[in-house]
Structure formats: structure tokens, C-alpha cells
């Protein structure tokens, strides 16, 4: 990130009962004009963080600065932020234009200026011809556009979006993702977006902050997040990963050899300081696993029994059982090529650089 951040969080923590921490010692900088997504499962702290930014929750500890000014002690209406909710939060008795104009009326914007800004916002979100309708006369996607226009009309420095597409069906959600990216690019406004949908986060964001148990596990561009996850949790939560557990038998720099019950010795890149004798979990993306002749040149090669093949449109998922009982999933394009049948034996392989390993405690699940 270059330049002075528009938003800076330092040591931000939140506890609702004085014991359990919903957010723990969060340090985060957001660049001006950035699209940052807060991603994580339910209860991970992402929504609590957004509510603290908006002013609906107060940090137990730490500071929040917006454009160099501390705002963590200010009420929501004095922070000057745009906000978009999952349930739209539109006024049902107001027209589209009146809903969009509401933040301007609160700011006592002159009538002529209000009319101009509302007209621009209506055009910007593609609602021309619908300004006189009420929310109940609009589709879900159109209502979401009204909510976006209302959040953008007063030109805030920062817009917060709390799972705004969660109530839409898949196709409409994907169209709205494209619209949001277009709006972000054309306006250059800073956006912070909360979602639990990994694909949505990867498709829209400049950077993604992955939350788990109140802590940020990694903040990175989507490509880096996927290719070089910083923890076993990130590897499993962002996208899909196979997990194979074993014990380190040797280490040379960042390369480790791992003994796994019932399998040949595997090689992987150590993502932490795991040394000889440490128990590790290896993560391998399903699409990086090669089959048949392609597996012959891979540094890691195993024999497995195909237990199931699942058709998922443009690709196929194969589920295999390894000696020792571990399951391995591979993906391949649905190109019409033949696949072995259930129960057949397959040769599978993957490159050393496609396998990352982290030390785990005995019996650990994360």
C-alpha cells in the first residue's frame, strides 16, 4: 500500500461481556480508493469490526482514525460514512428519489444541488425512469441499487457494505458484483465490504482480510491469498484444500520430507518453522493434483481408489481414498474426456511447490 492510509485501526479490540473477545488487537490500514473485503465465518469478528467502523459499536480498546481524525468516540451520524445493509433499510413510504435524497436532507443540502446529485446517482446505478417508484414496486436488485445510490450520493470518503448481496439469488448477485466493481472503479471511493462468501470476496476485492476467532489471519490480494495462504485456516477457508497429516522426517531449508502412514514420503514447502519430528498438515489444492500419465513426473506420487465422481457443471470432482483412510479430492475441467469408474485405482501426483505444510498440535482441527 502506497501513500497515507485513509483509515487506520490500531490495537482495536471488542468484548461484549468483559471476558470473551469478539475482536482481538486489530491493526489494519486501508488505502484511499481501495476495495477491502472482511472475510470470515460467522462469529469471526468481521461484522463487529464493521460495526465499530460505522459507530454502532464502541471499541473496548484501541483507536480508529479516518483521514487523520480519531472517530472511535463519535456517533455514526458524525463520521460521514456511507452504509449499505443486507436488508436495504429503505423507507417504504418514500420514492426512489426521496430515499436517495435522505442523506442530503439531513445535511441540509440546497434543493437545486440535491436534485442534481440525486439525478446523477439514479443514472449512476442504472435506475433511470424509476425515480418516482416506491421500494415495494422494485425488484430485490433494484432495491439494492437504491441503497447503493443513497450511500454514494453525498460523496462519502468511505462506504461500508454489510453483506449487501446476501439476499439476492446467485445470478443477480453475480451481476451486482460486476456493478459494484464498476461503481468502485468509476468513483474511486474507498469501500469496505463484509461477506462470508469466499468467491464473492475473491472476485471483487483489491485485498481481502481473513478473520478467524477475532483475529486477522492474513491481509493480501486475492491471488496471493489463494496461492500463498499464511495459515492452515486460510488454506482451508479460502477455496478448497486437501489436508494430509504426517510427521517431518527431514528438513532442508524450506523443503521438508513428511512421513505419512501408508504412503510414500511426501515433500512440501514448510510454511512455518516445523522441524524434524514435528507433526504437520499438508494443504494441496484439488486443481493442482494430476492424474495418470501427468502424475508420473510429479515429486509427490500416490496410488488411490476412486470412490466417487461428482459433476458440477464446468468441472468434475473426484473423491479418492488413500491407503490409511485419508480422502483426497481432485478437480478437472469437464472437457468430455473419460474418467475411471468408482472403485478403480488411480495414480495421483502433485508438485512440491503446490504443497504447503504447517505444524499442528496432536489432535488439532485447525
Which residue from 60, 88, 55 is spatially nearest to 158, judged by alpha carbons? 55
> 242-335+342-359 maps to which CATH number?
2.40.50.100
Tell me what the mean pLDDT of segment 197-225 comes to: 95
Question: Could you tell me the residue ranges of all domains in the chain?
Answer: 7-233, 242-335+342-359
How much of the chain is in helix, strand and coil states, percent to nearest 5? 30, 35, 40
Sequence-separated (6 or more) residues with CB below 8 Å from residue 270: 248, 251, 254, 255, 256, 280, 356, 357
Tell me what the mean pLDDT of segment 188-212 comes to: 94
For residue 341, name the pLDDT band (cuts at 50, 70, 90). Answer: confident
Predicted TM-score of the model (pTM):
0.89
Is the pLDDT higher at 168 or at 109?
A: 109
Eight-state DSSP code of residue 354: G
Task: Report the share of the chain in percent with pLDDT over 70.
Answer: 97
pLDDT score, position 365: 46
pLDDT score, position 279: 96
Strand partners, 211: 216
| Coil, strand or helix at 51 | helix
| Same fold: 7-233 with 242-335+342-359 | no
Sequence-separated (6 or more) residues with CB below 8 Å from residue 161: 83, 84, 151, 180, 191, 192, 193, 194
pLDDT score, position 343: 85
Q: Is the pLDDT of residue 236 over 80?
A: yes
Q: Is the pLDDT of residue 281 over 90?
A: yes
Is the pLDDT higher at 266 or at 163?
A: 266
Calculate the CA dihedral of residues 265, 266, 271, 274 and round it to 10 degrees.
-10
Task: Report the share of the chain in percent with pLDDT over 90.
Answer: 75
- Determine which of 173-187, 192-206, 269-283 has the lowest per-residue pLDDT on average: 173-187
pLDDT score, position 2: 54
Q: Is the pLDDT of residue 328 over 60?
A: yes
- Distances from the Cα of 271 to the Cα of 172, 242, 253, 355, 358, angstroms: 39, 16, 11, 10, 6
pLDDT score, position 168: 78
Calculate the CA dihedral of residues 235, 238, 242, 248 and round it to 10 degrees.
0
Is the pLDDT higher at 338 or at 309?
A: 309
* Dist. CA 271–CA 230, nearest whole Å: 7
Calculate the CA dihedral of residues 119, 120, 126, 129 and round it to 10 degrees.
20
> 7-233 maps to which CATH number?
3.40.50.300
Q: Is the pLDDT of residue 139 over 70?
A: yes
pLDDT score, position 292: 87
Eight-state DSSP code of residue 198: H
Strand partners, 269: 255, 356
Tell me what the mean pLDDT of segment 144-149 comes to: 91
Q: Is the pLDDT of residue 276 over 70?
A: yes
Tell me what the mean pLDDT of segment 217-234 comes to: 95
- Determine which of 81-90, 94-103, 197-206 has the lowest per-residue pLDDT on average: 81-90
Q: Supply the mean pLDDT for the chain.
A: 91
pLDDT digits (tens, 9 = 90+) for 35-83: 999 999 999 999 999 999 999 999 999 999 999 999 999 999 899 999 9
- Determine which of 104-118, 168-182, 191-205 has the lowest per-residue pLDDT on average: 168-182
pLDDT digits (tens, 9 = 90+) for 258-272: 999 999 999 999 999
Q: Is the pLDDT of residue 363 over 70?
A: no
Q: Is the pLDDT of residue 364 over 60?
A: no
For residue 286, name the pLDDT band (cuts at 50, 70, 90). Answer: very high
Where do the H-state alpha helices sit in the chain?
46-54, 96-106, 111-124, 140-152, 170-187, 198-204, 222-227, 232-237
String of DSSP letters for 25-46: EEEEEE-TT-EEEEE--TTSSH
Amino acid at each position: 500500500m502506497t501513500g497515507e492510509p485513509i483509515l487506520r485501526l490500531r490495537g482495536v479490540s471488542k468484548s461484549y461481556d468483559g471476558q470473551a473477545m469478539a475482536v482481538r488487537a486489530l491493526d489494519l490500514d486501508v488505502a484511499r480508493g481501495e476495495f477491502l473485503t472482511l472475510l470470515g465465518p460467522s462469529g469471526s469478528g468481521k461484522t463487529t469490526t464493521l460495526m465499530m467502523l460505522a459507530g454502532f459499536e464502541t471499541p473496548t480498546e484501541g483507536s480508529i482514525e479516518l483521514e487523520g481524525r480519531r472517530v472511535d468516540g463519535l456517533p455514526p451520524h458524525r463520521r460521514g460514512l456511507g452504509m449499505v445493509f443486507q436488508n436495504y433499510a429503505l423507507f417504504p413510504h418514500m420514492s426512489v428519489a426521496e430515499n436517495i435524497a435522505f442523506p442530503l436532507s439531513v445535511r441540509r443540502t440546497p434543493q437545486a444541488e440535491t436534485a442534481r446529485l440525486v439525478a446523477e446517482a439514479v443514472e449512476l446505478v442504472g435506475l433511470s425512469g424509476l425515480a418516482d417508484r416506491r421500494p415495494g414496486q422494485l425488484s430485490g436488485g433494484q432495491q439494492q441499487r437504491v441503497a447503493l445510490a443513497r450511500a454514494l450520493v453525498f460523496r462519502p470518503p468511505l462506504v461500508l457494505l454489510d453483506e449487501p448481496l446476501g439476499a439476492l439469488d446467485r445470478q443477480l448477485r453475480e451481476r451486482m458484483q460486476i456493478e459494484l466493481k464498476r461503481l468502485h472503479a468509476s468513483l474511486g471511493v474507498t469501500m469496505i465490504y463484509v461477506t462470508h462468501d469466499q468467491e464473492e470476496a475473491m472476485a471483487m476485492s483489491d485485498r481481502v482480510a481473513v478473520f478467524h476467532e477475532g483475529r486477522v489471519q492474513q491481509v493480501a490480494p486475492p491471488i496471493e491469498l489463494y496461492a500463498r495462504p499464511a495459515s492452515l485456516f486460510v488454506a482451508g477457508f479460502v477455496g478448497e484444500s486437501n489436508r494430509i497429516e504426517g510427521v517431518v522426517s527431514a528438513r532442508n531449508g524450506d523443503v521438508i520430507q513428511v512421513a505419512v502412514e501408508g504412503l510414500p514420503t511426501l515433500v512440501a514447502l514448510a510454511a512455518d518453522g516445523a522441524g524434524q519430528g514435528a507433526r504437520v498438515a499438508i494443504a494441496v489444492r484439488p486443481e493442482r493434483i494430476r492424474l495418470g500419465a501427468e502424475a508420473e513426473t510429479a515429486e509427490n506420487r500416490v496410488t488411490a481408489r476412486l470412490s466417487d465422481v461428482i459433476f458440477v457443471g464446468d468441472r468434475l470432482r473426484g473423491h479418492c481414498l488413500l491407503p490409511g483412510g485419508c480422502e483426497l479430492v481432485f478437480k478437472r475441467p469437464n472437457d468430455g474426456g473419460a474418467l475411471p469408474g468408482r472403485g478403480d485405482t488411480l495414480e495421483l501426483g502433485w508438485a512440491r511447490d503446490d504443497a504447503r505444510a504447517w505444524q499442528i498440535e496432536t489432535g488439532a482441527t485447525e
